[in-house]
């Protein structure tokens, strides 16, 4: 059995900075959720805001099976099926035969889906421009660079979920 890597040791100052970042990230997520719910409350299209994540993913990653979307969006297949059905009913997404397996289908954005996505993107960009309107250009650029660095760091350091069976085995050996 491979041995576990030694736990990294961080200084109190590093942990304090990480704690403050954690507080700010939680605050940020709450504010984003609040602003999304405000947009959703005003939206007349009847589409769940979460369904737009499917449309976004399809536009950026290409046609996908429901199972792959669920994996990529960390959601249950039943949730993705329900949300994608709504997108299909509204003409934003279409089902296509999977060229690798004719029994399966892929979800793909329609021309209307692309139009709606771009409209939502323009609205988001106007809102963010208003949020940053009084920031100096250098600060806006720094924010983008630092967020990119943070996102890259998170992508490369996603915590591994412990296997409950291996945890039980460790208890028996101790």
Q: Helix H segments across 45-136?
A: 51-61, 66-72, 77-89, 111-131
- Measured from the Cβ of residue 166, the count of other Cβ atoms closer than 10 Å reads 9
Least confident of 45-59, 93-107, 134-148: 45-59
pLDDT band at 47 (very low <50, low <70, confident <90, very high): confident
Does position 28 have pLDDT exceeding 70, yes or no?
yes
pLDDT band at 171 (very low <50, low <70, confident <90, very high): very low
| pLDDT given for residue 113 in this prediction | 93
Does position 84 have pLDDT exceeding 80, yes or no?
yes
Least confident of 58-67, 75-84, 124-133, 158-167: 158-167
Percent helix, strand, coil in the chain, to 5, is: 65, 10, 25
pLDDT band at 33 (very low <50, low <70, confident <90, very high): confident
Average pLDDT over residues 62-75: 93
- The answer to whether the CB of 64 falls within 8 A of the CB of 106 is yes
């Amino acid at each position: 059995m491979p041995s576990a890597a030694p736990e990294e040791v961080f200084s109190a100052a590093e942990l304090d900075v990480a704690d403050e970042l954690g507080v700010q990230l939680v605050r940020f997520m709450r504010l984003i959720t609040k602003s999304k719910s405000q947009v959703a409350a005003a939206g007349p299209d009847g589409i769940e805001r979460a369904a737009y994540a499917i449309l976004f993913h399809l536009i950026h990653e290409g046609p996908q099976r429901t199972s792959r979307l669920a994996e990529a969006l960390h959601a249950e297949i039943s949730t993705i099926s329900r949300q994608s059905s709504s997108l299909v009913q509204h003409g934003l997404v279409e089902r296509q035969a999977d060229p690798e397996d004719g029994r399966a289908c892929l979800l793909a954005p329609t021309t209307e889906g692309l139009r709606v996505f771009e409209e939502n993107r323009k609205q988001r960009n106007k809102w963010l421009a208003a949020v940053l309107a009084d920031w100096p250009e250098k600060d806006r650029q720094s924010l983008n660079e630092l967020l990119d660095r943070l996102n890259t760091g998170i992508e490369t350091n996603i915590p591994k979920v412990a296997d409950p069976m291996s945890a039980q085995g460790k208890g028996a050996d101790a």
